[in-house]
Structure 1
């Protein structure tokens, strides 16, 4: 294909149908557009409408593909946020049905590259046939990717049961490395897999078929795993940095933030625990009550954000009388909250998190120490162990088999991380991580290198 002046490219982006995937793909798109490349950002209508598009470059074009109907998937569902975890396999079946309309879209375009996600195992084959280069962009870190191993292991390896993922794999021999899943986390993940095409087969397909792999991390944090991945995959693996979000000074302040800021302004520096378990984590009422009792027993100030999915479980999801008893030091907020603004406030000292990679990046970008409570979805268990091992946080002890925990363990973990003397090294380590996770110049350098990879890679031949 012939490119315009300065080798400007036409790059298609095709993320998985989850907000936590769409946003990193959009951040990479924005950077590529700043370098003069044209972007076709392809997804279903509802997902595109969810994106913050007010300040997008004119070089980014949003392309809608109608959501295919699949028996078992609610008619209005277009993302993981719309369904419980046991319905995710139907979403993957619908995603696979996008192969034909996406192929038609690509056939009638001048796309040079397609940047895709883990679920579209069929896409590298389509791209190769059409003479389009492809890169698999994994929104997780290199350590999580290394844990899952090479394509040969993913397709026909020794790990066939959830129990097999609770030990460190043989190809990882880093010193003092004990990052693995707990059994309850893998059992939960099993529920989200399509019986016909497992996540392992999907992952193997995109790794084998793409030209190279890009991952949301950097060598300053993830060096050992970044060195291992090209050996496991037999192809280049390029870090794009952490894609840290940043607060725009001129950004308008909505009413939600004004209320939260007023409450935070009255608290001492680093005295408040921010608690948020993401938009898609669902705990039982029993677990939510135990968590609430632990938060109360800690005796510390806190803001607890209940996402829409948790609010939808009903008013009894929080123990009766809890908010009254803690009203002098705690605030329970229902619905969406501006997490980045909250984490950036000086009164926030720590973050009790479900360990989604984006949330961890946001917190460490401000140097906030972590209280680790795995959401038991995707690689959140691996991130929990990794952050615990890196000593930037402390994992709340839980039963390996069923994920249960005690309010005493919650309270002790919060206090140790936030105020106890033995937590001082954790707080210092997390604060130091600002220089990696919050360093825009450092992270943009990796995006620059990723862009150069795209610009200098040989043109694919169909």
Structure 2
């Protein structure tokens, strides 16, 4: 959601674009930061659809079990009729719909309103290229009992191969004829019929996959407008500022340049106790300075914080990740490789230590390690328990001489990322071209 709101902010900065953001009731507070920066943006608050399969309050829960995630995607289609009624009654009806790739049903909604739909991807171009092949060709394992059975993608540039377990949970849990499975499949296939496609990425990072998608989707209207996260954006983006966050930034101020590793696994994953124990032991043995953003419920070992006092911080509240990554003291980032996190690290010029766990994260890690060369692999899998000595080695090396090549490449990639969104940079050009195309539609 954050990257889509960042896109809304960018669009609203154009005099020719009026932006209305549809949001459900409990997620309305997430718009506060956007509305403070973009007073011209209008919120459209809709009640969450009745859907008995979802427990109350799950609409904005961060504890989303895969089965509930499937149901959530299905439930959101209940917004179709309220959106249709609003669009037909508002004095200024929409001239286009931009919605993310989990809302494929909005393609039909746009067609009924006679306006174009643009699919927004919060994932990178490689992940979407893989997803398109999956739902179109429906490849299966040659050995149904082997989670490592390789699935090849010769249709895609570089012909990547991924083990079955690296593929999207939504695809791996598909059951032919089962209503929610078929709804999800139809939604992803409907995305391919969109009028245009908007990616939170930039040409220098994923040009080969963007070019592939233009050919695969049969349209030049594939726009890369990232990185979308503003490096100088509000500190409360994604959460409320706290005293702990302020103290953490003050602690970083006292650290030497390029001396700290940030450890954060996003908003979805709670580490199992054996994982937290192994990670803590590795961080302790590494001798490195670090900030560990340990999501609530993470079983940080008793006594760990006292033993690393002075060189390590454990933060249990929300932390401003963009601001932390942009701090001069931070040189490396141990991450789950969510695409927002990847782009935030790239923009900040911070090397990554990858631990992909699910969704698109394995594809993202491939871009980081094998293609951009701005990171090294540390671990993989949501249930994996790393060797503490390996964690210690990789973390220590990320700050030392052997990690200099990745750090240097990260800084070079940062310059390209920042150049892309400024002046005549590729992402700025794509954004302006998209606005120009939308403006033509409004005139017609």
Q: Which stretches in structure 2 are left out of the alignment for 5+ residues?
A: none
Partner of 2:331: 349
Partner of 1:423: 403
Report whether the alignment pairs 1:44 with 2:24. Answer: yes
Partner of 1:28: 7
Report whether the alignment pairs 1:255 with 2:240. Answer: no
Partner of 1:234: 218
Aligned counterparts, 1:312-461, within 5 A = 312=297, 317-376=299-358, 378-389=359-370, 390-398=372-380, 403-419=384-400, 421-439=401-419, 440-441=421-422, 442=425, 443-457=427-441
Decide which moves more: 191-200 or 429-438: 191-200
Change (3 A) 1:89 1:27: same
Question: How far, CA to CA, are the matches of 2:343 and 2:289 in structure 1?
Answer: 23
Native 8 Å contact 1:154 1:200 kept in 2: yes
Shift in Å at residue 394 of structure 1? Answer: 0.5
Question: How far, CA to CA, are the matches of 2:149 and 2:434 in structure 1?
Answer: 31
Partner of 2:203: 219
Report whether the alignment pairs 1:114 with 2:97. Answer: yes
Shift in Å at residue 168 of structure 1? Answer: 3.9
Decide which moves more: 118-127 or 50-59: 50-59
Native 8 Å contact 1:184 1:402 kept in 2: no
Using the size of structure 2 for normalisation, the TM-score is: 0.87
Please point out which of 75, 98, 105 is paired with 2:56.
75
Shift in Å at residue 62 of structure 1? Answer: 0.3
What is the SS of the residue equivalent to 2:376? strand
Change (3 A) 1:113 1:282: same
1:20-76 Cα deviation digits (max 9, x unpaired): xx2222222222222121111102011122222452434311001110122231212
Shift in Å at residue 371 of structure 1? Answer: 0.8
Native 8 Å contact 1:367 1:433 kept in 2: yes
Size of the aligned set, in residue pairs, is 425
Partner of 1:180: 162
Partner of 1:197: 182
Native 8 Å contact 1:85 1:192 kept in 2: no
Change (3 A) 1:256 1:171: same
Decide which moves more: 213-222 or 365-374: 213-222
Native 8 Å contact 2:116 2:195 kept in 1: yes
1:268-305 Cα deviation digits (max 9, x unpaired): 11111111111111221111211111111211111101
Question: How far, CA to CA, are the matches of 1:82 and 1:351 in structure 2?
Answer: 24
Question: How far, CA to CA, are the matches of 2:382 and 2:354 in structure 1?
Answer: 17
What is the SS of the residue equivalent to 1:362? helix
RMSD (Å) for aligned C-alpha atoms: 2.9
Change (3 A) 1:234 1:53: closer
1:231-284 Cα deviation digits (max 9, x unpaired): 211223222232131225999985333311221122211111111111111221
Using the size of structure 1 for normalisation, the TM-score is: 0.84
Q: Which stretches in structure 1 are left out of the alignment for 5+ residues?
A: 1-21
Native 8 Å contact 2:263 2:293 kept in 1: yes
What is the SS of the residue equivalent to 2:319? coil
What is the SS of the residue equivalent to 1:350? strand
